[in-house]
Amino acid sequence: MCYVITNNDGGFPAPVNPKLPATVASEAIRSDAPALSSSFRLRRPRGPMCAKGYCSQCEIVGPDGRALACQVAAHAAPPPTQRDLLRPLGLIAAFFPPWFYERRFLRPRRLRRLSLHVLRHLSSAGPLAAQAPAVRPRRYEEVEVEVAVVGAAAAEPGAFVVDPDSGDVPLGVYPGRTLGVLRGDRLIAVRFERLVLATGSYERLPPIPGNDLPGVVGIQAAETYAGSGALRRGLRVAAWAPREQRRRIESLATSHGLRLVWMDDRAPRAIRGRRRVRAIVTDRGRIPCDLFVVGVRQPALELALQAGATASLTTDGLPILALDDTPPWLEVRGEAAATTSGVPDVPAACDAMACLCEDVRVSDLKACVAQGFHQAELVKRRTGAMTGPCQGKLCSATVLATLRELGVDAAPTRARPLARPVTLGELAADA
């Protein structure tokens, strides 16, 4: 993909970090129109949440095909249209459960082959057919090291360091203590004796109505957008965060002239708005705001789980998935090793979105459990929750915590490499 990320070209409130590029996503936030895409099933408006390319809520069709708006330079793609002509279909779909399509379209069994044939051709037509760009085959290499480290923050002298912030893609941990890495034009199999993971964390969304609205962003994304000048002075910000994050949010607001209208470690009852956040509803009433910042984090555990670590939902406060045990050759550091969310629990509201990628609501999980699906793995297959492009990064803790509330076995579902979706072209390599 040949997007060139350039510096912001001025005209924004200070301080602006010229190293932070203006992207299609940051421009959308700057112009108060953060709805960049629509969800697949219910056609709900969605916007950038993470600013780092893992939440997959900002997908647009760029000049080279599908792309994430937070990864595309502002000048490289026109702003997406704000109207979604399929929204009425989404409103109808909201009356049906996520498994409606399979149940209807794949019956009768005799016609299943034909139905799949039609669906495949439909999904490869029109804008959905945006082709992945051609990628030149990579060179395949194998290296043997004593220590491999994922995350520059944990770099050790002499270690093989994989830095996702510099463009490295850690693909997965495979048998034989092997870490797969995409680096530039190389596909590298790193054989290690010891593995250190500082993989950071993701947003842990509150299970409340409106938690998927454009304008709900993670704290790191808010800092990124503020740094690139996308948050105008006077923007009204509501923040849900544990106490230890408060100073960070206050300093973000102070240094960028934002109006912090609400901050608490208790989640609001709801987030309101149509195509973007307009207000939150708390016990004290409605508070108008333009941005809802999520400071609660879920440790990023994909690689650790692939490496054989075990995790479970925490029991104090709002549940997150935290590590229980790791193999002796694995060390997890930093935010990935967090053992608590630091905020009080929030009962899941029926209208809340549990899985954003697959449009699975808390009410869908309840309906699924009521039908007799009493294991997280079965609920995952029935509803599609945790199987979308974010691969459960944003939703695993919410889905599993909801299932636990319903008395269902909420053991984490299986984690399989790859750690993030990649095209087959990216994996093509010459040995």
Taking each helix axis from N to C end, the angle separating 219-227 and 246-256, rounded to the nearest 10 degrees, works out to 20
Q: Which stretch binds ligand FES (CB under 6 A): 50-58, 152-160, 199-207, 366-374?
A: 50-58
Choose which of 20, 22, 24, 49 interacts with ligand FES (CB under 6 A): 49
CB of 217 to ligand FES, least distance (A): 8
By the rule CB under 6 A, 25 interacts with ligand FES: yes
Q: Which stretch binds ligand FES (CB under 6 A): 46-54, 94-102, 148-156, 201-209?
A: 46-54
CB of 209 to ligand FES, least distance (A): 21
By the rule CB under 6 A, 395 interacts with ligand FES: no
Contacting ligand FES within 51-70 (CB under 6 A): 51, 53-58, 68-70
For ligand FES, what does the binding mask look like between residues 264 and 293, x meaning CB under 6 A? ------------------------------
CB of 91 to ligand FES, least distance (A): 25
By the rule CB under 6 A, 356 interacts with ligand FES: no
- Of 29 and 190, CB closest to ligand FES: 29
By the rule CB under 6 A, 222 interacts with ligand FES: no
- Of 224 and 326, CB closest to ligand FES: 224
CB of 326 to ligand FES, least distance (A): 28
Q: Which among 236, 240, 218 has a CA at the least distance from the CA of 278?
A: 236
CB of 257 to ligand FES, least distance (A): 23
By the rule CB under 6 A, 79 interacts with ligand FES: no
Q: Which stretch binds ligand FES (CB under 6 A): 6-14, 47-55, 135-143, 208-216?
A: 47-55
Which positions ≥6 away from 137 have C-beta within 8 Å?
A: 428, 429, 430
- Of 69 and 93, CB closest to ligand FES: 69
Binding site for ligand FES (CB under 6 A): 25, 48-51, 53-58, 68-70
